[in-house]
């Protein structure tokens, strides 16, 4: 698919569009395929799916600023709603399709599993360094904050407060 053809399809579509950028040689792309297909069937008739082979459409990837595959992007019209790169779980695919259908980014987007792991490891490292070096409370607090950033989406207080705070920053039509 050519760049102009892709953007024309986005503009013409009366439904939201979820774009799957993949390649046949990509292991995570192939592993994600069954979940993507099931989620696509769940939203059939409500959300349009475009599958774009990265090897055949490099100009589309360049125009979208895609640096890695698999990448899944939810669009409403030609406006990007949500983007995720890397292998996505069935729950995250459902969130992407739902975001496209609702035409807005969700208030809370969970980090990818690898991000959780890296943030947790970095936070534990900072906690350890803070403890070893004369119990530096600043480093330990920073470590705790980094660990929290790995699991914020599961915190009930954050889930309650985040939408209210985000609504203060959203533009109102009026």
Q: What angle do CA 89, 67, 116 make, to 5 degrees?
A: 40
- CB burial of 75-105 (b: ≥16 within 10 Å; e: otherwise) equals bbeeebbbbbbbbbeeebbbbbbbbbbeeee
Q: Which distant-in-sequence residues (6+ apart) come within 8 Å of 103 by Cβ?
A: 16, 76, 81
Report, as residue numbers or ranges, the catalytic residues: 26, 29
* Position 86 in a domain: yes
Q: For the chain, what percent of residues have pLDDT higher than 70?
A: 97
Per-residue pLDDT of 23-56, as tens digits, reads: 999 999 999 999 999 999 999 999 999 999 999 9
Residue ending a domain, choose from 102, 124, 156: 102
How is residue 49 written in tokens? 């799916």
* Position 32 in a domain: yes
CA 148 – CA 14 distance, rounded (Å): 40
* Position 108 in a domain: no
CA 149 – CA 144 distance, rounded (Å): 9
Instruction: Please give the radius of gyration of the chain, using alpha carbons only, rounded to the nearest integer.
Output: 19
Overall number of domains in the chain: 2
**pLDDT value of position 173:** 46
Identify the residue whose tokens are 């915190």.
155
* Position 18 in a domain: yes
Q: pTM of the entire structure?
A: 0.75
Identify the residue whose tokens are 């995570």.
28
**DSSP strand pairing (79-85 vs 48-53):** unpaired
Same domain membership, residue 97 and residue 117:
no
Cα distance between the two ends of the chain: 40
Per-residue pLDDT of 112-126, as tens digits, reads: 777 889 999 999 999
Same domain membership, residue 72 and residue 155:
no
Host domain of residue 130: 113-169
Q: State yes or no: cis peptide before 70, omega within 30 of 0.
A: yes
Same domain membership, residue 85 and residue 43:
yes
CA 138 – CA 121 distance, rounded (Å): 18
Per-residue pLDDT of 117-150, as tens digits, reads: 999 999 999 999 999 988 889 999 999 999 998 8
Residue ending a domain, choose from 72, 102, 132: 102
């Amino acid at each position: 698919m050519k760049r102009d053809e892709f953007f024309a399809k986005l503009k013409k579509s009366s439904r939201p569009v979820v774009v799957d950028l993949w390649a046949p040689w990509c292991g995570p792309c192939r592993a994600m395929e069954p979940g993507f297909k099931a989620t696509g069937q769940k939203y059939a008739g409500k959300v349009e799916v475009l599958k774009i082979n990265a090897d055949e459409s490099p100009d589309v990837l360049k125009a979208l600023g895609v640096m890695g595959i698999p990448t899944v992007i939810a669009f409403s019209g030609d406006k990007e709603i949500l983007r995720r790169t890397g292998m996505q779980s069935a729950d995250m695919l459902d969130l992407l399709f739902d975001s496209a259908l609702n035409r807005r980014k969700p208030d809370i987007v969970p980090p990818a599993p690898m991000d959780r792991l890296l943030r947790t490891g970095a936070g534990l490292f900072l906690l350890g360094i803070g403890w070893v070096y004369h119990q530096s409370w600043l480093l330990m607090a920073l470590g705790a904050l980094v660990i929290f950033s790995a699991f914020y989406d599961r915190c009930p207080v954050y889930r309650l407060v985040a939408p209210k705070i985000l609504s203060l920053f959203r533009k109102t039509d009026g």
